[in-house]
């Protein structure tokens, strides 16, 4: 914003946009849920400040295929996106990018804590 913000035609006349921490929480949990294939209300989000940038800590379950299924067909791991660690690492990048895009906040770090698994049989495409 420039110094002319408060002149009659300046940005100040439009008002102010503020993204509350509650809204940020919702956005982060939705993005995380999307990235890991789980329900958004089972994702815990903790927002902190790190030298003026946003630091996210998400505590989330992760969706995996059942062990029975892997035993009968080991390629199902690759098909579901790789190992849990790989998917969590990829989710970190996804969360950072999409939260920045959606909220415009710069993010210092994303910590993904996998707190559980959600076993889900692969479904036939309907």
Partner 1 sequence: MSSSTKALYARIGRRETHSSRSMLAIVLAIILIVVFAWVGTEVVIALLGLPALLVAPSDMFASAVGLAEQPAALVSIAGIVAAVIGLVLIVLSLSPGRRARHLIDTERAVTVVDNEVIASALARHASYAGNVDPDNATVSVSHRLGVVDLTPTSGIPADRDAVTRAVSDQLDSYGLRPTVRARVRIAEKGKVGA
- Which positions ≥6 away from 73 have C-beta within 8 Å? none
- Which positions ≥6 away from 66 have C-beta within 8 Å? 119, 120, 121
CA dist 121 and 106 (Å) reads: 37
Looking at beta carbons only, is 24 or 38 nearer to partner 1?
24
**Using the rule CB under 8 A, is 78 a contact of partner 1?**
no
Host H or E run for residue 70: helix 67-72
23 to 42: interface string for partner 1, x by CB under 8 A = xx------------------
How many residues sit in the footprint of partner 1 (CB under 8 A)?
Answer: 28
In the region spanning residues 40 to 59, those forming contacts with partner 1, defined by CB under 8 A, are: 47-49, 51-54
Looking at beta carbons only, is 77 or 107 nearer to partner 1?
107
Minimum Å distance from CB 111 to partner 1? 15
Minimum Å distance from CB 70 to partner 1? 39
CB atoms within 10 A of CB 39: 12
């Amino acid at each position: 914003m420039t110094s002319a913000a408060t002149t009659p035609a300046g940005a100040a006349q439009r008002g102010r946009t503020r993204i509350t921490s509650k809204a940020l929480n919702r956005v982060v949990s939705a993005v995380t849920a999307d990235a890991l294939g789980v329900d958004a209300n089972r994702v815990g989000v903790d927002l902190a400040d790190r030298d003026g940038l946003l630091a996210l800590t998400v505590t989330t379950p992760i969706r995996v295929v059942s062990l029975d299924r892997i035993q009968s067909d080991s390629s199902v791991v690759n098909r579901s996106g790789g190992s849990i660690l790989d998917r969590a690492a990829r989710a970190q990048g996804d969360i950072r990018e999409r939260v920045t895009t959606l909220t415009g906040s710069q993010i210092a770090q994303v910590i993904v804590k996998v707190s559980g698994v959600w076993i889900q049989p692969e479904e036939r495409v309907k």
